[in-house]
Amino acid sequence: MNTTTEGMELVYEKPDTLTETPMHYCPGCGHGVAHKVLMEVIEEMGITQDTVGVAPVGCSVFAYMYMNVDMQEAAHGRASAAATGVKRVLPEKYVFSYQGDGDLAAIGTAETIHTVNRGENILMVFINNGIYGMTGGQMAPTSLEGMKTSTSPYGRECSTMGSPLKMTELIAHLPGAYYVTRQSVHTAAAVRKLKKALKFSFEAQKQKKGTCFVEIVSNCPSGWKMTPLEANDWMEKNMFPYFPPGDIKVPNELK
Protein backbone atom coordinates (compact mmCIF):
# COMPACT_ATOMS: atom_id res chain seq x y z
CA MET A 1 0.00 0.00 0.00
CA ASN A 2 1.34 3.42 -0.91
CA THR A 3 1.08 5.91 1.93
CA THR A 4 1.70 9.59 2.39
CA THR A 5 3.71 11.07 5.25
CA GLU A 6 0.45 11.34 7.20
CA GLY A 7 -0.10 7.60 6.91
CA MET A 8 -3.08 7.90 4.54
CA GLU A 9 -3.45 5.67 1.51
CA LEU A 10 -2.32 7.31 -1.72
CA VAL A 11 -4.97 6.64 -4.37
CA TYR A 12 -3.67 8.90 -7.13
CA GLU A 13 -0.41 10.53 -8.08
CA LYS A 14 0.24 12.80 -11.05
CA PRO A 15 2.32 10.97 -13.66
CA ASP A 16 5.78 12.34 -14.41
CA THR A 17 4.66 12.58 -18.03
CA LEU A 18 2.60 15.65 -17.07
CA THR A 19 4.46 18.87 -16.33
CA GLU A 20 3.78 21.18 -13.38
CA THR A 21 2.38 23.86 -15.70
CA PRO A 22 -1.23 24.79 -14.78
CA MET A 23 -3.56 24.00 -17.67
CA HIS A 24 -5.40 26.81 -19.41
CA TYR A 25 -8.52 24.79 -20.21
CA CYS A 26 -11.91 26.06 -19.08
CA PRO A 27 -13.48 24.47 -15.97
CA GLY A 28 -15.20 21.22 -16.89
CA CYS A 29 -13.43 20.84 -20.26
CA GLY A 30 -12.53 17.27 -21.20
CA HIS A 31 -9.11 18.17 -22.61
CA GLY A 32 -7.43 18.05 -19.20
CA VAL A 33 -8.74 14.57 -18.45
CA ALA A 34 -7.81 13.35 -21.93
CA HIS A 35 -4.27 14.70 -21.39
CA LYS A 36 -4.03 12.93 -18.04
CA VAL A 37 -5.21 9.56 -19.32
CA LEU A 38 -2.95 9.68 -22.37
CA MET A 39 0.09 10.55 -20.27
CA GLU A 40 -0.76 7.90 -17.66
CA VAL A 41 -0.77 5.23 -20.37
CA ILE A 42 2.58 6.37 -21.73
CA GLU A 43 4.18 6.33 -18.28
CA GLU A 44 2.69 2.98 -17.28
CA MET A 45 3.90 1.39 -20.53
CA GLY A 46 7.40 2.71 -19.89
CA ILE A 47 7.64 4.43 -23.27
CA THR A 48 8.13 8.03 -22.13
CA GLN A 49 11.55 8.42 -23.72
CA ASP A 50 10.36 6.79 -26.95
CA THR A 51 7.19 8.82 -27.54
CA VAL A 52 6.65 11.82 -29.82
CA GLY A 53 3.40 13.77 -29.84
CA VAL A 54 2.16 16.26 -32.44
CA ALA A 55 -0.33 19.02 -31.58
CA PRO A 56 -1.69 21.58 -34.07
CA VAL A 57 -3.72 24.79 -33.73
CA GLY A 58 -6.80 24.82 -31.51
CA CYS A 59 -7.45 24.26 -27.83
CA SER A 60 -4.71 21.62 -27.91
CA VAL A 61 -2.13 24.10 -29.19
CA PHE A 62 -0.42 24.27 -25.77
CA ALA A 63 -0.27 20.51 -25.24
CA TYR A 64 3.52 20.71 -25.43
CA MET A 65 3.43 22.76 -22.23
CA TYR A 66 1.62 19.99 -20.34
CA MET A 67 2.85 16.74 -21.87
CA ASN A 68 6.34 15.88 -20.63
CA VAL A 69 7.31 13.91 -23.74
CA ASP A 70 8.90 15.02 -27.00
CA MET A 71 6.33 17.25 -28.72
CA GLN A 72 6.13 18.78 -32.19
CA GLU A 73 3.91 21.69 -33.15
CA ALA A 74 2.09 21.47 -36.49
CA ALA A 75 0.20 23.90 -38.70
CA HIS A 76 -3.60 23.89 -38.47
CA GLY A 77 -4.92 20.55 -39.72
CA ARG A 78 -1.51 19.13 -40.54
CA ALA A 79 -0.78 17.14 -37.37
CA SER A 80 -1.26 13.75 -38.99
CA ALA A 81 1.03 14.76 -41.86
CA ALA A 82 3.69 15.92 -39.42
CA ALA A 83 3.23 12.74 -37.37
CA THR A 84 3.68 10.71 -40.56
CA GLY A 85 7.01 12.41 -41.18
CA VAL A 86 8.20 11.81 -37.63
CA LYS A 87 7.22 8.14 -37.75
CA ARG A 88 8.91 7.52 -41.12
CA VAL A 89 12.13 9.16 -39.99
CA LEU A 90 12.03 7.58 -36.51
CA PRO A 91 10.07 4.32 -37.02
CA GLU A 92 11.10 2.97 -33.60
CA LYS A 93 9.27 5.81 -31.81
CA TYR A 94 5.68 5.77 -30.58
CA VAL A 95 3.99 8.66 -32.39
CA PHE A 96 0.59 10.22 -31.75
CA SER A 97 -1.33 13.27 -32.96
CA TYR A 98 -3.74 15.13 -30.68
CA GLN A 99 -6.37 17.08 -32.64
CA GLY A 100 -9.75 18.75 -32.22
CA ASP A 101 -12.74 18.48 -34.53
CA GLY A 102 -12.22 21.89 -36.13
CA ASP A 103 -8.71 20.78 -36.97
CA LEU A 104 -8.92 17.10 -37.88
CA ALA A 105 -12.37 17.13 -39.48
CA ALA A 106 -12.26 20.52 -41.25
CA ILE A 107 -9.00 22.05 -42.45
CA GLY A 108 -7.27 18.69 -41.88
CA THR A 109 -9.83 16.40 -43.53
CA ALA A 110 -7.60 15.55 -46.49
CA GLU A 111 -4.56 14.87 -44.29
CA THR A 112 -6.67 12.69 -41.99
CA ILE A 113 -8.16 10.55 -44.75
CA HIS A 114 -4.93 10.01 -46.63
CA THR A 115 -2.94 9.29 -43.45
CA VAL A 116 -5.38 6.55 -42.50
CA ASN A 117 -5.73 5.30 -46.07
CA ARG A 118 -1.96 4.78 -46.22
CA GLY A 119 -2.14 2.95 -42.90
CA GLU A 120 0.51 5.13 -41.28
CA ASN A 121 1.63 3.40 -38.09
CA ILE A 122 0.57 6.14 -35.67
CA LEU A 123 -2.15 6.87 -33.11
CA MET A 124 -4.58 9.70 -33.87
CA VAL A 125 -6.42 11.13 -30.86
CA PHE A 126 -9.50 13.10 -31.96
CA ILE A 127 -11.30 15.41 -29.51
CA ASN A 128 -14.87 16.02 -30.67
CA ASN A 129 -16.82 18.69 -28.80
CA GLY A 130 -18.92 19.82 -31.75
CA ILE A 131 -17.61 23.38 -31.86
CA TYR A 132 -14.58 25.58 -32.45
CA GLY A 133 -13.77 26.07 -28.77
CA MET A 134 -10.69 28.27 -29.03
CA THR A 135 -11.52 30.80 -31.73
CA GLY A 136 -14.98 32.01 -30.79
CA GLY A 137 -17.44 29.13 -30.72
CA GLN A 138 -18.03 28.84 -34.47
CA MET A 139 -19.89 25.93 -36.07
CA ALA A 140 -17.63 22.92 -36.60
CA PRO A 141 -18.07 20.01 -39.03
CA THR A 142 -19.33 18.02 -36.04
CA SER A 143 -21.84 20.59 -34.74
CA LEU A 144 -25.22 18.89 -34.42
CA GLU A 145 -28.29 19.74 -36.46
CA GLY A 146 -30.05 22.68 -34.83
CA MET A 147 -27.01 23.47 -32.67
CA LYS A 148 -26.56 27.19 -32.11
CA THR A 149 -23.05 28.58 -32.50
CA SER A 150 -21.58 32.00 -33.19
CA THR A 151 -21.78 31.32 -36.94
CA SER A 152 -25.10 29.45 -36.81
CA PRO A 153 -27.08 31.62 -34.34
CA TYR A 154 -30.38 30.11 -35.43
CA GLY A 155 -29.07 26.55 -35.36
CA ARG A 156 -27.35 24.37 -37.93
CA GLU A 157 -29.52 23.78 -41.00
CA CYS A 158 -28.43 20.62 -42.78
CA SER A 159 -30.09 21.70 -46.04
CA THR A 160 -27.63 24.58 -46.42
CA MET A 161 -24.80 23.72 -44.03
CA GLY A 162 -24.57 19.96 -44.49
CA SER A 163 -24.97 17.24 -41.90
CA PRO A 164 -22.61 16.75 -38.95
CA LEU A 165 -19.59 14.79 -40.13
CA LYS A 166 -19.06 11.35 -38.57
CA MET A 167 -15.34 11.31 -39.16
CA THR A 168 -14.70 8.15 -37.17
CA GLU A 169 -17.22 6.05 -39.11
CA LEU A 170 -15.87 7.52 -42.34
CA ILE A 171 -12.25 6.52 -41.81
CA ALA A 172 -13.20 3.12 -40.36
CA HIS A 173 -13.92 1.94 -43.91
CA LEU A 174 -10.35 2.61 -45.03
CA PRO A 175 -8.10 -0.45 -45.26
CA GLY A 176 -5.26 1.29 -43.41
CA ALA A 177 -7.35 1.74 -40.28
CA TYR A 178 -6.50 -1.00 -37.80
CA TYR A 179 -8.43 0.01 -34.68
CA VAL A 180 -11.12 2.70 -34.63
CA THR A 181 -13.07 3.57 -31.51
CA ARG A 182 -15.11 6.36 -29.93
CA GLN A 183 -14.84 7.02 -26.20
CA SER A 184 -15.47 9.80 -23.67
CA VAL A 185 -14.08 11.12 -20.38
CA HIS A 186 -17.16 12.33 -18.47
CA THR A 187 -17.33 9.45 -15.97
CA ALA A 188 -14.84 7.20 -14.20
CA ALA A 189 -16.10 4.19 -16.16
CA ALA A 190 -15.64 6.07 -19.44
CA VAL A 191 -12.10 7.04 -18.48
CA ARG A 192 -11.22 3.40 -17.83
CA LYS A 193 -12.51 2.41 -21.28
CA LEU A 194 -10.53 5.20 -22.91
CA LYS A 195 -7.38 4.18 -21.09
CA LYS A 196 -7.77 0.61 -22.34
CA ALA A 197 -8.27 1.85 -25.91
CA LEU A 198 -5.17 4.06 -25.80
CA LYS A 199 -3.02 1.29 -24.38
CA PHE A 200 -4.16 -1.15 -27.05
CA SER A 201 -3.41 1.47 -29.72
CA PHE A 202 0.18 1.94 -28.58
CA GLU A 203 0.68 -1.82 -28.37
CA ALA A 204 -0.66 -2.16 -31.93
CA GLN A 205 1.79 0.51 -33.07
CA LYS A 206 4.66 -1.52 -31.66
CA GLN A 207 3.44 -4.44 -33.77
CA LYS A 208 3.23 -2.21 -36.87
CA LYS A 209 -0.46 -2.86 -37.44
CA GLY A 210 -1.42 0.45 -39.07
CA THR A 211 -3.38 3.51 -37.99
CA CYS A 212 -5.24 3.52 -34.68
CA PHE A 213 -7.89 6.21 -34.34
CA VAL A 214 -9.41 7.14 -30.97
CA GLU A 215 -12.21 9.70 -30.95
CA ILE A 216 -13.08 11.27 -27.58
CA VAL A 217 -16.53 12.87 -27.44
CA SER A 218 -16.08 15.77 -25.07
CA ASN A 219 -17.87 18.91 -23.95
CA CYS A 220 -17.19 22.63 -24.29
CA PRO A 221 -18.96 24.38 -21.41
CA SER A 222 -17.72 27.81 -22.51
CA GLY A 223 -18.60 27.36 -26.18
CA TRP A 224 -21.91 25.74 -25.35
CA LYS A 225 -22.71 28.48 -22.79
CA MET A 226 -23.38 25.93 -20.05
CA THR A 227 -22.05 24.95 -16.65
CA PRO A 228 -19.83 21.83 -16.63
CA LEU A 229 -22.67 19.73 -15.19
CA GLU A 230 -25.14 21.05 -17.76
CA ALA A 231 -22.63 20.39 -20.54
CA ASN A 232 -22.09 16.77 -19.48
CA ASP A 233 -25.85 16.20 -19.33
CA TRP A 234 -26.36 17.86 -22.74
CA MET A 235 -23.55 15.77 -24.20
CA GLU A 236 -25.16 12.51 -23.03
CA LYS A 237 -28.60 13.49 -24.30
CA ASN A 238 -27.57 15.06 -27.61
CA MET A 239 -24.01 14.16 -28.66
CA PHE A 240 -24.08 10.47 -27.75
CA PRO A 241 -27.16 9.57 -29.85
CA TYR A 242 -25.39 10.94 -32.95
CA PHE A 243 -21.84 10.02 -31.91
CA PRO A 244 -22.39 6.82 -29.88
CA PRO A 245 -19.41 5.69 -27.79
CA GLY A 246 -17.95 2.27 -28.54
CA ASP A 247 -15.63 0.39 -30.86
CA ILE A 248 -16.29 0.88 -34.58
CA LYS A 249 -13.54 -1.15 -36.23
CA VAL A 250 -12.14 -3.89 -34.05
CA PRO A 251 -9.25 -6.23 -34.87
CA ASN A 252 -9.82 -9.93 -34.32
CA GLU A 253 -7.81 -10.06 -31.08
CA LEU A 254 -10.33 -7.74 -29.40
CA LYS A 255 -13.45 -9.56 -30.59
Can you give the pLDDT at residue 2? 56
- Phi and psi, residue 125, nearest 5°: -100, 125
Across residues 178-190, what is the average pLDDT? 97
Q: What is the mean pLDDT of residues 74-80?
A: 96
Show the domains of the chain with their CATH numbers: 31-132+166-233 (3.40.50.970)
| Average pLDDT in the chain | 94
What is the spatial distance between Cα 199 and Cα 122, in angstroms, rounded to a whole number? 13
**pLDDT above 70 (res 5):** no
pLDDT tens profile 91-130: 999 999 999 999 999 999 999 999 999 999 999 999 999 9
Cα angle 80-85-87, degrees, rounded to a multiple of 5: 90
Phi and psi based region of residue 226 (left: phi greater than 0; alpha: psi -120 to 50; beta: remaining):
beta
- pTM here? 0.94
Asked whether the predicted pLDDT for residue 225 surpasses 50, the reply is yes
Alpha-carbon distance 23 to 10, whole Å? 23
What percent of the chain has pLDDT above 90? 89
Q: Taking residues 209-230, what's their average pLDDT?
A: 96
